[in-house]
């Protein structure tokens, strides 16, 4: 079994297009190995990166929920003040 994902495999796993995977590789978001035009993504590093991105996404969602909660509290206070 290979230790690398093909671009199409990584795209299928993440439910994005292969072009998105290529862009992420080119921008350094995803670790990869490229020989000529063939891109391979090391499975172990890919899985670790996805875990990191998931944690970051979870943190951002928590921050967003906190902002919404604060906004709702301010809105409620304004409603009470303005009657």
pLDDT digits (tens, 9 = 90+) for 47-78: 888 888 777 766 766 776 787 788 877 778 87
Q: Where is pLDDT greater, at 61 or 27?
A: 27
| Token representation of residue 15 | 């439910």
Distance, C-alpha 59 to centroid of its chain: 11
Asked if residues 44 and 3 have their Cβ atoms less than 8 Å apart, the reply is yes
State the pLDDT at residue 52.
83
Asked if residues 31 and 45 have their Cβ atoms less than 8 Å apart, the reply is yes
Round the average pLDDT of the chain to a whole number and report it.
86
User: Residue 33 — φ and ψ, nearest 5°?
Assistant: -125, 135
Q: Is the confidence at residue 1, as pLDDT, over 80?
A: no
pTM exceeding 0.85: no
Nearest to 39 by CA among 26, 53, 49, 27: 26
Asked if residues 18 and 11 have their Cβ atoms less than 8 Å apart, the reply is yes
Using DSSP's 3-state secondary structure scheme, residue 34 falls into strand
């Amino acid at each position: 079994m290979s230790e690398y994902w093909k671009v199409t495999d990584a795209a299928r796993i993440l439910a994005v297009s292969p072009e998105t995977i290529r862009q992420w590789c080119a921008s350094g978001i995803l670790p990869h190995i490229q020989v000529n035009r063939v891109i391979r993504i090391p499975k172990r590093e890919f899985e670790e990166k996805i875990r990191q991105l998931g944690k970051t996404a979870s943190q951002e969602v928590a921050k967003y929920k906190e902002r919404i909660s604060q906004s709702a509290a301010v809105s409620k206070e304004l409603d009470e003040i303005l009657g």
